[in-house]
Structure 1
């Protein structure tokens, strides 16, 4: 093994005069063919292929910078983080990854995360990362990775943002049934109960108000739906005297009959 290792390095002194014997000549030729033409070229091809793969990944990675520039930017960003009290970069990346506008993030998207203490802190964060070339906004404003099933959600989000900039808000489901899909002013209070419940309560109030005079009239005329025993009423034969609640045929407090 030691002799073969030195032969791989080009030292054939351990074989002596290998040109004299034919078997040694055949061994040296076969060794050179297997070692240099097959094994070393095979290993070299693996190394070159791996290197080309890493190079392609680095070329596609737009955020990749040289080592010194990357280290300076990392240290500077951490200093700004403690100065402006920025939230954790990991939490922000997870939040922006779930956003439908992750390829075009603006200042209001950063501020509405609710993770920055003040608007000045959010503005400093936005201004710092806006200076990098690889974070430039898309020219057409589109998101190539946005799935088709999220188009409606994106449209609703755009409507909500435009309405907010104009001092309006999008109507709730109950308000859409009454006013339609047009935005309404912010000062308009949101309904607490559903229109259906309000209609039911209004109908019940109207029914009670309409039934009250009729019931009073029936009581005054002595023709109620539930007449008392003995036929007593306010306008009956007793000259308008109030009758006991048990009617004329029931005993009264003095022991006599009521009628």
Structure 2
């Protein structure tokens, strides 16, 4: 059984508020790279913002102990024009889940925003975050954990995304069946490393609509699945 997974931002839209790492860098008055490292190592794979974790982040960046109350919680997801309609086409072909990087700080608000705008095309409880699966998307473990949560084989996943590292390298290394990578222009597609483009499971496309058409295409038949799951 094929499961379609899709990245959220920037694949389906954008966040209108600063990322957690940006807010941390501003509060700590530190280098953005340092804040991104702390967010990546401590917050993106945490299942809960415990007092101990809060203290570790404060120590790492020289923040006040109550730093969570001093930053603007992330959120404000806005779907791209046409994204819900295009996602509906994908849902017509099979089960769809979202696979997204998300810090534990403000995770409830971001999930609620995504659910409000895209949730009716996702299966129930179908937003899988790095904090939920306790692994970064750039690691094969994330994709194996996703398959385990869905009770499927990793090779049954067809993924759509925009990041070479998170949406192509890692899932392919984990053994997903197919990846459709949105690269924008033809020039951007050619910037994808040759060894990655050589993987027959990878297809580079310019936009979300083309990605969904490609993801739902049956390779051996050369057709795409329609809204009712029939070939067209």
TM-score normalised to structure 2 length: 0.23
Work out which structure has the larger RCO, using CA pairs closer than 8 Å and 6 or more positions apart in sequence: 2
Larger radius of gyration: 1
* Structure with the higher fraction of residues in strand conformation: 2
TM-score normalised to structure 1 length: 0.21
